[in-house]
A and B are shown apart, each in its own frame.
Chain A
Amino acid sequence: MSQDYLVASAVLTNDAGMHARPSVKLTQLARSFTANIEVATDSAGPWVDAKSPVKLMRFRAPQGATLWLRAAGEDAQRALDEVLALVAGNFGEGAHG
């Protein structure tokens, strides 16, 4: 079965990158959507399930890395928008000065 994915990307600007707290926050948000959401650190993949914090942490994505997102399903656009907003907002953490 082929799916049409919506794709977006964002740069990780929070201090420590895709560490434990951001991974958990992202997966909690992703789970609130029915869409199939996947994450990669390269536009060519590999893509992993955005609803698994263990898989997200395995990227070891540092600050400054680009996070690629793709989603398919009925609420895919809203899912992408909200996940991008979470990343852009530094996962609700203060950035340091």
Chain B
Amino acid sequence: MAEIVFSGIPASKGLALGYIWRPATGAACGEATQGDAALTGGDADALRKAIATAIGDLSQLEGTLSGEEAEIVGMQLAFLSDDELARPAFEAIEAGQSAVAAWTEVMNAEIATYEVSDDEYFRARAIDFQDIRDRVLAALTGVQSGVLQVPRGAILLASDLRPSQFLSARWGAGCGIALTDGSPTSHVAMLARGRGLPMVVGLAGELRDLEGPALLDGTTGILVSGPGAERLAEGKARLEADSAARKQSAALAGEPALSRNGVRVAIHATIADPAELDGLDPSHFDGIGLVRTELFLDKLEKLMDEETQFATYRRILTWADGKPVTVRTLDAGGDKPIKGYTAVNEANPFLGIRGIRLSLRQPEVFRVQLRALARAAAYGKLRIMLPMVTLPDEITTARELLDAEITALAAAGVDHGRPALGIMVEVPAVAITPERFDADFYSIGSNDLVQYTCAVSRDEAGVAHLGSAIDPSVLALIARVVEHGRATGREVSLCGDAGSDPRMVPHFLAAGLRSLSVQHGLGGAVKATIAGLDLVDHRAGQA
């Protein structure tokens, strides 16, 4: 049998090697007929009882779960407990409709308003309301859909899956989920990621009569029917490698990152909140590669509070104990508005007043941060990084502001240091001609560099496949900046999310990068990836 490959959208990474498995069609949907409700006190009463039964069942299910899973069931409970949901159904019953017809029509109308939403997130909520509708219908008609028993190695193939089905199901080892509808932002996708179950949604093609052996790749988003010997061997090797890699990364987390041939790569941690440092071992990292200040400076009054900022930066430097700490100045605007500070009603906020553009427009706010940073620099190796730089002048102006604050601190006899001043490389204008930008160091912001190079919105799943940090165009830009850094003796690193992705790391290192800032939980996995690579030793070449 020849291989057939179906493409979809990745929703939860991982690989399943097994066979196509379809759940028995749920009895709850469709041509539900009314039980003996009418005999026992009327339709309104029947609906009231059915809702109470559904609430009881959901509460029981919630009691067996914890964390995010319990929270998702809790949300359904909150909606079902809201009288507003069933109110129009009771009105329709009053007007003479049966309980089943009234509930079905009212819920279908509610669901339809979600299905037509422009917002992907709201569209993905339609399935939650279908889940609620069918649970009440089952109670109303007395037809209960059974608990899914998903056998070992089964790749569940369906049009969509309800959160309650997922949660009540018994999942065998090595299962996967393949859906022809669905969304990567659905609750089921979230649940699958939490349990580490591979999942692909939006699969297109003739899947109706599919059966037999199959492979599901939740990382690339494909379903392969009748996988060939070669693909199967590859898949098995990957599963074994995954399990070996998990063990290896745990072992390597506390070691310096070295390639197979002994080339050292610097691994820094990215943090958004100083509270993340609790429980983080400084010896596992070469420093802090990115502190995202906009996440704790999320209000204008915090931006103006020099003392609290100073205390925060000093705390991070104390933790780092002499290792470098790179603090990014406020990167507000775009998808990160701050009330009373960022511009409102921009037609395209990602191309508008954000990052350094915003800081330079409001120097009285920017100065507070620069002053707090210069004071904190007395306590360790602090480096300041400017986001969204587009023109060389922006660095010059920022440096003048920093110098002025340092001069004022010196005149007032306040303890301070002189931090290095570097820039993020996010705008292609910088990456194409880095030599125009006189910065002490450069850090590739891969998320935005991809967005601006490939013209791909960061928030729209429908175009996500068009852009990647390892797109040849993006890698060429990175290599150009690395080359400039090497020629002028300035450090070039990468601090975007892609730096924590073991699939992308080899490409970045091949482009010449030798310094990455990673999500701190993924340091071990990145080090394990590096340990399997042979790298060119640029230092040896220069010596």
Contacts and interface: CB of A to CB of B under 8 A. Distances in A.
A78 interface: no
Closest 4 CB pairs between A and B?
Answer: A16-B121, A54-B84, A24-B78, A52-B84
Given A20-B75, A24-B75, A28-B78, A88 B298 contact: yes
Contacts of B78: 24, 27-28, 53
24 contacts: A10-B339, A11-B337, A13-B336, A13-B338, A16-B119, A16-B185, A19-B121, A20-B79, A24-B74, A49-B84, A52-B83, A53-B78, A54-B85, A54-B110, A58-B113, A60-B117, A60-B119, A62-B119, A64-B337, A88-B298, A88-B299, A94-B295, A97-B272, A97-B292
A87 B207 CA distance: 44
Contacts of A96: 335
A11 B497 CA distance: 26
Given A27-B78, A52-B84, A95-B295, A13 B337 contact: yes
B71 interface: yes
Interface of A: 10-11, 13, 15-17, 19-21, 24, 27-28, 49, 52-55, 57-58, 60, 62-64, 88, 94-97
A19 to B, nearest CB: 5
Interface string B110-141: 10010001010110010010000000000000
Contacts of B234: none
Contact of A57 (B125, B337, B497): B125
A24 B121 CA distance: 16
B230 interface: no
Interface string B67-106: 0000100110011001111000000000000000000000
Contacts, number: 68
Contacts of A24: 74-75, 78-79
Q: In this complex, which of A13, A27, A97 has the most chain B Cβ atoms within 10 angstroms of its Cβ? A: A97
A21 B337 contact: no
A87 to B, nearest CB: 10
Given A11-B339, A53-B82, A58-B113, 17 more contacts: A10-B339, A13-B298, A13-B336, A15-B335, A16-B185, A20-B128, A21-B75, A24-B75, A27-B78, A28-B78, A52-B83, A54-B84, A55-B82, A55-B84, A57-B79, A60-B122, A97-B272
Contacts of B74: 24
A11 B110 CA distance: 26
Contacts of B270: 97
Q: In this complex, which of B83, B122, B128, B299 has the most chain A Cβ atoms within 10 angstroms of its Cβ? A: B122
A58 B447 CA distance: 32
Q: In this complex, which of B79, B128, B295 has the most chain A Cβ atoms within 10 angstroms of its Cβ? A: B79
A52 B71 contact: no
Nearest to A9: B339
Q: In this complex, which of A10, A57, A94 has the most chain B Cβ atoms within 10 angstroms of its Cβ? A: A57
Nearest to B346: A64
A87 B292 CA distance: 20
B84 A21 contact: no
A63 B119 CA distance: 10
A55 B110 CA distance: 11
Contacts of A54: 79, 82, 84-85, 110
Contacts of A95: 295, 298, 336
Contacts of B119: 16-17, 60, 62
A13 B337 CA distance: 6
A88 B297 CA distance: 12
A40 to B, nearest CB: 16
Nearest to A48: B84
Interface string B271-297: 010000000000000000000100100
B414 to A, nearest CB: 31
B85 to A, nearest CB: 5
A11 B343 CA distance: 12
Nearest to A10: B339
Interface in B143-189: 185
Interface in B219-238: none
Interface string B41-68: 0000000000000000000000000000
Nearest to A21: B75
A18 B447 CA distance: 25
Contacts of B84: 49, 52, 54-55
Contacts of B298: 13, 88, 95
A96 B84 CA distance: 33
A60 B121 CA distance: 10
A10 B83 CA distance: 27
A14 to B, nearest CB: 11
A10 B75 CA distance: 23
A5 B518 CA distance: 48
B75 to A, nearest CB: 5
Nearest to A51: B82
